[in-house]
Structure 1
């Protein structure tokens, strides 16, 4: 059976009181605030405000290529925006970067970060000489195989 707003408010207040001391006025104020917040959330849920927000995020999620934008990347699973899709976030969906790329048809070499961040990382790597070192390694490896 679903809990009433009063029961949920009571549980929240009890947990607040157990973690810190509150005066009677603070408890009254917190009860009112929490109840009003829960009530507005319930009304928004009933009126479908949440579904409108999800539909607003659904458009960018439709095309995986469009999810990677200049200053953000949109998670295709939940629609949240990030500068980079972290392994921790992907794990919350039961995925890792490899399975995420495969699921949405992205290249294995496609960075799961915004284009700006990817460009910064590329420039930083070039400053440190990574491409030159990689070239030296590849030359040495090909000479060894001959």
Structure 2
């Protein structure tokens, strides 16, 4: 240990001892033991330790590849199965789908709805005619001429 570090530790030790003795009664023969214990504690607290990787990636509840099933999706946070993950993530884990994908390093196209459920909803939408263009929308809208109005007057009244 270099000289400046040793001086810092001695200064810290003396500051701690003074603070301790100002609030506690101690026999004179116990003071050297207290000084030694505090100094050793400071040395141990600042001793070089192997770096602990705090940013270690979390372990999912299930294997990521097995989290997508046809009938359900398995939440990587708690291992529960759902047809749709979005509401569960927000209510139980306070995460958006974007947060979830980023946390688990999932691909951007990771589904938030089970494939079978998505297909069922798609079939229902098609059966009631959603997503189809009607005959009206295929033909161009006719411009309606209103006498007494010019193009600039129509845009001002909007």
The alignment's TM-score, normalised by the length of structure 1, stands at: 0.41
The alignment's TM-score, normalised by the length of structure 2, stands at: 0.39
Instruction: Pick the structure with greater CA Rg.
Output: 2
Structure whose residues are more often helix by fraction = 1
